[in-house]
Amino acid sequence: MMEQPVGARRASIGARRNPASEKAILDAAAAILAEGGLSGFSIEAVARRARAGKPTIYRWWPNRTALLLDVYHRSKHVIPDPDTGTLEGDARMFLTNLLDFWNDPANGTVFRSIIAEAQSNADAMAALQAYLDDRHAYLAGIIDRARARGEVRADLDSTALGEWLVSFAWHRLLTDRIETSPAEIETVIKTFAAGAAPTSK
Amino acid sequence: MMEQPVGARRASIGARRNPASEKAILDAAAAILAEGGLSGFSIEAVARRARAGKPTIYRWWPNRTALLLDVYHRSKHVIPDPDTGTLEGDARMFLTNLLDFWNDPANGTVFRSIIAEAQSNADAMAALQAYLDDRHAYLAGIIDRARARGEVRADLDSTALGEWLVSFAWHRLLTDRIETSPAEIETVIKTFAAGAAPTSK
């Protein structure tokens, strides 16, 4: 599994969730998204379908984007955790899996729309930032493992390194060029791993 | 100057432009943007203010986003060309200048809105991609200069390297964290230059 389940991951945000209700709400939200796309996705529609109260949903997800991000994130659970034993291998696996995941429009389109929405909606931006804080901590963990193996120079910050690695994937997604060539991936991965290494100048 | 003037840069796109008319249209577009922001920015409003025909504008800019990108790009003319003599120095200057430029909301907000618009509008995406092809060629040129000095490993692609460098800035802009610490910049720059170097493993 790529990381902790959604409930555990977001436990620090908002009230404690009832696992069965949470699952019903996320299932309803995912079904609405699959059937009608983003335009039909609202807290109201999810509440109706999940037979949950809107206050319950708002207690756990402060806005539509926060709920959308959890639905999006949950569909990522099939992505294996990269643990190949080298930073270059982990980075290659991470980037390749992320781009593959986004290559399915059901995933890529949702994430693009969240980013777009966040550019003019402060609530959406807050939800996106909370999600990314979590993702960046996860990536920093991969880099910390490499650091423990002696693959990362002491003066380089794990969070900044991880953020930079994922930025390339964002750029591809947001410029509609998600079908990245293996050579392009290799340029990024090799430069990244060699640049982070203590043996570099 | 950071690069060629707008007219020369886009000469291959659309019909040949009359420099005086082009300047009048871009001046009008910039004034509308400065006074009323994005919501008041339209081809119609620009045509009225520049006393130009809408067909003239559409001949040179196929859509609102293409015109917006040229206005945006023209305000970048004050950014000096990075030519410090090292890849690390050039990359640092490029990234710092770009983030500084976007830190002025007049610039950052416009570019964010263009990216957001492109996520759901194919014309806006086409205009953005044409603009970026040009920017990536410019960045590849900086990296080719470093390559000629022996600072870049032979198997790394200049365009992919340049795109990756700028991706970090995009990620910061789009997550509303444009105020980057010097340490974060250094992590990216040092990793980049060391990773691109032929002496790396």
Q: Does B179 touch chain A (CB under 8 A)?
A: no
- The confidence score (pLDDT) of residue A81 equals 82
Q: For A61-96, what is each residue's pLDDT tens digit?
A: 999 999 999 999 988 876 778 899 999 999 999 999
Answer CATH for A1-60 from 1.10.10.60, 3.40.50.300, 3.20.140.10, 1.10.10.10: 1.10.10.60
CA atoms within 13 A on the CB side of B129: 14
Q: How many CB atoms lie within 10 A of CB A96?
A: 16
Cβ(B157)–Cβ(A183) under 8 Å? yes
Return the percentage of chain B with pLDDT > 70, whole number: 91
Best B171, B179, B192, B201 member to test A by mutation, with max A CBs in 10 Å, is: B171
Predicted confidence band of residue A3 (pLDDT cuts 50, 70, 90): very low
- Closest CB to B200: pick one of A171, A188, A197: A197
Query: Nearest-5° angle of CA A194, CA A129, CA B95?
Result: 45
Helices (H), A14-86: 19-36, 43-50, 54-60, 64-74
Query: Is A4's pLDDT higher than 90?
Result: no
For residues B28 and B48, what is the distance between their CA atoms, to the nearest angstrom? 9
Q: Cβ of B191 and A155 within 8 Å? A: no
Which two structure tokens, joined as six digits, stand for A112? 């693009």
Least confident of A3-7, A139-143, B137-141, B146-150: A3-7
Note if the pTM is more than 0.90: no
Q: Which residues of A touch B115 (CB under 8 A)?
A: 116, 119, 174
Q: Cβ of A200 and B196 within 8 Å? A: no
Where are the strands (E) in A86-170, listed by range?
Answer: none
Cβ(B94)–Cβ(B142) under 8 Å? yes
- To the nearest whole angstrom, how far is the Cα of A78 from the nearest Cα of chain B? 25
Cβ(A125)–Cβ(A67) under 8 Å? no
**Which B residues, 109 through 168, put their C-beta within 8 Å of a C-beta on chain A?**
112-113, 115-120, 125, 128-129, 132, 155-157, 160-161, 163-164, 166-168
Fold of A74-196: Tetracycline Repressor; domain 2 (1.10.357)
CA closest to A124 among chain B residues:
B175
Q: Does B196 touch chain A (CB under 8 A)?
A: yes
Q: What is the DSSP letter of B198?
A: T
- To the nearest whole angstrom, how far is the Cα of A94 from the nearest Cα of chain B? 16
Backbone CA torsion sign across B23, B126, B145, B96: positive
Q: Cβ of A156 and B184 within 8 Å? A: no
Q: Which residues of B touch A166 (CB under 8 A)?
A: 171
Cβ(B107)–Cβ(B75) under 8 Å? yes
Cβ(A168)–Cβ(A95) under 8 Å? yes
Q: For B13-64, what is each residue's pLDDT tens digit?
A: 556 788 999 999 999 999 999 888 888 899 999 999 999 999 999 999 999 9
Tell me the domain boundaries of chain A: 1-60, 74-196
ipTM: 0.86
Quick one: B148 exposed, middle or buried, by C-beta within 10 A (0-12, 13-18, 19+)?
Answer: exposed
For residues A121 and B112, what is the distance between their CA atoms, to the nearest angstrom? 12
Q: Does A184 touch chain B (CB under 8 A)?
A: yes
Q: For B96-115, what is each residue's pLDDT tens digit?
A: 999 999 998 889 999 999 99
CA closest to B127 among chain A residues:
A175
